[in-house]
């Protein structure tokens, strides 16, 4: 076994690897960028090496710096985690050329599966079923459009390199093919440095089911059953589970055999995932699944497999990479119970899942697992850490298991309702709504479920009068107490026989709320609210809430209602651009400008494309008007930057 390894990654996966390595007595080296100097993975590791500025291209994607750090610290092997360089065969070559061990598959295996089109041709030769489509080298638009017509619409354009939904477009009609192709190519080029695509038949009711495989250098390959990752938004996974709901013995046998066959076809060693698309329009059948791609690394959702098989896949990675045989044979790997993983992100579900930034002023996960379940929290952040625009905005993975699917799902809902995060917009309310969705609860899930139910899943009910009153009470002592002190003591100085009242203002969204807070002789607090609440409430028990600079967040189930607390001494800046301008909803890069200064545009017309976290977001006109100013291509903008300003006469 290795004495010391370097982890070429950050965040929760780096912390995850460190925990297993520590249990096995293996020392760890972390690497970090400027933005991560105080990160949790840096604190947890035995050693840490700075590798560059915050942008990934200058730090976490610099294989030369990472290899140099490993050599300088005496590490014997490098664990890539997932993302970044984990599926880069050139990096594997760099590692091995330096005399180090890459904890993962060979460069040849990664290359064999790295390009979706070549991988599918290889799988066809190995007898693994693949989705009907065009996987050839020619990339002329005329040819691709012709192939799309042959396949039959709807079709799916997919980047041949990479994954995570980037460079992917669904096309319903031939007239939309050209624009969809251009968007997919731009996104693929930005994310993977390769704008080539493949075109496939779009399956009408697709289930995304994948099989965890593991191989060693002695030619042994096993599977650890399947995971269902069909709950997706924007082609990215949201809640994963194991095993797949509704799985039949016949389909499991066919799918796991195909997965093992695929791994053996490339002499695979290490952890890998064979992803399949399944047509669920007529139930799960053994002849209705097709190979999509192979992820030649550990997956984000690997904990659900660990939960239901009782394994530690990171330990397996270390053992296999150090030259040992697989820890278990196929007959020794059993399936027990059911597990869910919910990905908690800093994102605004109501705004199309736009990534968010901010400081995690309050971060609290459940202290114990719900009754009858077990739970683990995979995170790389702590209270006070910032969500940076430079990296994926994942905050944590909440993983639970139970004796069956229903028990595990109930445990997931309870755990989400006990999770408290303030300081950034997060998706816990959305996750809670999805866990409670009737179709999802029944196991009737496919990749289009979230899209079909998105309005209901992302709708947050307005705060009740009780929630507003609690926020007002907590805010009433904002000028006199620190955010960490008990907000319920802020009125302790009120006279019992001559009650004093304190006027408090809050803002929720666009609503200004005025409240009058007083303390009653019996120790209760009375909060009188103006319109639209028009109520007076008596409060005694403290609800779940968090005070943070300029804000109060009150938690109700999985929803966190955040109220701004205006500073009464600060002069409000009411010079808002309003409808006369469009501002950046998040930090990003102006990738493409589709209008010009002086041009007259109509409502809904796309004006520019903002790239943030390697995803493209179209900024469209909110009304008819004439453009007075527009951002330039290549401009790096921050949250709130004016992108488009309209001429004043637009509203005349």
SS (H, E, C) 389-440: CCCCCEEEEEEEEECCHHHHHHHHHHHHHCCEEECCCCCHHHHHHHHHCHHH
pLDDT at 294: 94
Answer yes or no: are the C-beta atoms of 5 and 318 closer than 8 Å.
yes
Q: Left (φ > 0), alpha (ψ -120 to 50) or beta: where does 301 sit?
A: alpha
H or E segment to which residue 630 belongs: strand 625-630
Q: How far is CA 233 from the centre of its chain?
A: 10
pLDDT at 146: 95
pLDDT at 569: 44
Q: Left (φ > 0), alpha (ψ -120 to 50) or beta: where does 634 sit?
A: left
Q: Alpha-carbon distance 439 to 453, whole Å?
A: 10
Q: Which residues of the chain have pLDDT under 70?
A: 164, 477-501, 523, 540-542, 567-579, 613-615, 639, 649-652
Among 414, 339, 405, 401, smallest CA distance to 372 is for 401
505-539 confidence digits (pLDDT tens): 899 988 899 988 887 777 678 888 887 777 777 77
Per the document, the length of the chain is 652
Q: Alpha-carbon distance 301 to 412, whole Å?
A: 15
pLDDT at 614: 61
Q: Alpha-carbon distance 344 to 570, whole Å?
A: 35
| 647: exposed, middle or buried (Cβ count in 10 Å: 0-12, 13-18, 19+) | middle
Q: What is the dihedral of CA 340, 346, 347, 348, to 10 degrees?
A: 100
Q: Which residues are catalytic?
A: 297
Q: Alpha-carbon distance 5 to 19, whole Å?
A: 13
Answer yes or no: are the C-beta atoms of 424 and 387 closer than 8 Å.
yes
Answer yes or no: are the C-beta atoms of 158 and 116 closer than 8 Å.
yes
Phi then psi for residue 203, to 5 deg, are -80, 130
């Amino acid at each position: 076994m290795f004495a010391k390894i370097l982890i070429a990654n950050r965040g929760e996966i780096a912390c995850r690897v460190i925990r297993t390595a520590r249990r096995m007595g293996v020392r760890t080296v972390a690497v970090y960028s400027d933005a991560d100097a105080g990160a949790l993975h840096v604190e947890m590791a035995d050693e840490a090496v700075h590798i560059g500025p915050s942008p990934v291209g200058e730090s976490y994607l610099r294989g030369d710096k990472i290899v140099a750090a490993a050599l300088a610290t005496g590490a014997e092997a490098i664990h890539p985690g997932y993302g970044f360089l984990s599926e880069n065969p050139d990096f594997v070559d760099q590692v091995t050329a330096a005399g180090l061990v890459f904890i993962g598959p060979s460069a040849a295996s990664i290359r064999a599966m790295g390009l979706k089109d070549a991988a599918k041709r290889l799988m066809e030769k190995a007898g693994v079923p693949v989705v009907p489509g065009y996987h050839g080298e020619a990339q002329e638009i005329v040819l691709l459009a012709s192939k799309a017509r042959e396949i039959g619409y709807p079709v799916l354009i997919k980047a041949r390199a990479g994954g995570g939904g980037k460079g992917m477009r669904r096309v319903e009609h031939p007239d939309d093919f050209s624009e969809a192709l251009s968007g997919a190519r731009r996104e693929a080029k930005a994310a993977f440095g390769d704008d080539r695509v493949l075109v496939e038949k779009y399956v009408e009711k697709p289930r995304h089911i994948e099989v965890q495989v593991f191989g060693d250098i002695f030619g042994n390959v096993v599977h650890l059953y399947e995971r269902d990752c069909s709950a997706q938004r924007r082609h990215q996974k949201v809640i994963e589970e194991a095993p797949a709901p509704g799985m039949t013995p016949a389909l499991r046998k066919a799918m796991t055999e195909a997965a093992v066959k695929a791994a053996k076809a490339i002499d695979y060693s290490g952890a890998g995932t064979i992803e399949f698309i399944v047509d669920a329009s007529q139930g799960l059948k053994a002849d209705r699944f097709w190979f999509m791609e192979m992820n030649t690394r550990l997956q984000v959702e690997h904990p659900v497999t660990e939960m239901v098989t009782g394994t530690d896949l990171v330990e397996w990675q270390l053992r296999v990479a150090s030259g040992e045989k697989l820890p278990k044979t196929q007959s020794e790997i059993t399936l027990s119970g059911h597990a869910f993983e919910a990905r908690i992100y800093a994102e605004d579900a109501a705004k199309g899942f736009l990534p968010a930034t901010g400081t995690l002023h309050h971060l609290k996960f459940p202290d114990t697992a719900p009754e009858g379940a077990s739970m683990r929290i995979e995170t790389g952040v702590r209270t006070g850490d910032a969500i940076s625009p430079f990296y994926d905005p994942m905050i944590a993975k909440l993983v639970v298991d139970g004796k069956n699917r229903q028990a595990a799902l109930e445990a997931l809902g309870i755990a989400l309702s006990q999770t408290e995060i303030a300081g950034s917009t997060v998706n816990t309310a959305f996750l809670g709504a999805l866990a409670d969705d009737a179709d999802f609860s029944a196991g009737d899930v496919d990749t289009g479920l979230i899209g079909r139910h998105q309005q209901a899943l992302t709708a947050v009910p307005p705060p009740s009068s009780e929630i507003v009153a609690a926020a007002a009470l907590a805010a009433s002592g904002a000028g006199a107490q620190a955010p960490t002190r008990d907000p319920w003591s802020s009125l302790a100085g009120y006279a019992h026989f001559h009650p004093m009242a304190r006027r408090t203002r809050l803002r929720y969204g666009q609503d200004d709320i005025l409240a009058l807070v007083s303390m009653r002789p019996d120790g209760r607090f009375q909060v009188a609210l103006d319109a639209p609440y028009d109520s007076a409430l008596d409060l005694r028990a403290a609800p779940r809430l968090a005070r943070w600079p300029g804000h109060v967040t009150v938690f109700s189930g999985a929803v966190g209602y955040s109220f701004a607390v205006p500073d009464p001494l600060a002069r409000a800046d009411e010079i808002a651009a309003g409808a006369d301008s469009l501002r950046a909803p998040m930090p990003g890069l102006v990738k493409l400008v589709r209008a010009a200064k002086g041009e007259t545009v109509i409502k809904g017309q796309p004006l520019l494309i903002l790239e943030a976290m390697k995803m493209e977001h179209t900024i469209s006109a909110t009304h008819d008007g004439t453009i007075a100013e527009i951002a330039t291509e290549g401009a790096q903008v921050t949250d709130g930057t004016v992108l488009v300003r309209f001429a004043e006469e637009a509203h005349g």
